[in-house]
Amino acid sequence: MTEYDIEKWDIQPVEGDEQVELVIESSDGNRWEYGIPYSKSSGRYTFEEIDVIANDFGDDVAEEITDRLDEVIKKLSD
């Protein structure tokens, strides 16, 4: 695990595109931005970097982000 923590993170749809943006800000001032494409017809998405997030910040954080991704993409696909 790293020597810094997540200060905040957010997931928002990208206007005019079938993707959502995940932004993570950490206690050391770093910021990560991920564009996560999804299929509006199936609600499926691929986010392989979740393994890196789990490694850096822990499985609980990765699970929380995955749950929120599932929720946001489900709403966008309905």
Q: pLDDT (tens digit, 9 = 90+) per residue, 37-69?
A: 999 999 999 999 999 999 988 999 999 999 999
Using alpha carbons only, give the angle 5, 11, 14 rounded to the nearest 5 degrees. 140
Max Cα–Cα distance, the chain, nearest Å: 40
Query: Which amino acid, one-letter code, is at 22?
Result: L
Integer Rg of the chain from CA: 13
Q: pLDDT (tens digit, 9 = 90+) per residue, 25-37?
A: 999 999 999 999 9
pTM to 2 decimal places: 0.88
